[in-house]
Structure 1
């Protein structure tokens, strides 16, 4: 429209698009396609290793890497 010398506000364009059935698409979350057969075994292995370290008197640092706020570190002994 600008090429034809017509000035239209964003609001008007949005209303026209909506009126004619055009809507802004939302980003769609997709499930991961990677399937791990031994997922539970991985967690059991981590629990075993953690327990061994604790029995040896070592400190264990647990970090939640999915949080996007301040980093929180729990030190278990």
Structure 2
């Protein structure tokens, strides 16, 4: 799947209020890869579909509102 398009960004801006991103990196895991954990705090203004764009070597876990989701839901980089 391609990167976020301008139209998708405009739609996302109408749906979401992003409050903050919190990113923790562990750069001690190897020469070519690293571990990371990212939390995105947002509020949905209206119902709608959106996605997080991520391209991990391995997606170990994902959750929404504290509820775990299946990492196999990652489709391309979305």
TM-score normalised by structure 2 residue count: 0.25
Higher RCO, Cα 8 Å, sep 6+: 2
Whichever structure has more strand as a proportion of its residues is 2
TM-score normalised by structure 1 residue count: 0.25
Whichever structure has more helix as a proportion of its residues is 1
Give the structure with higher Rg (CA): 1
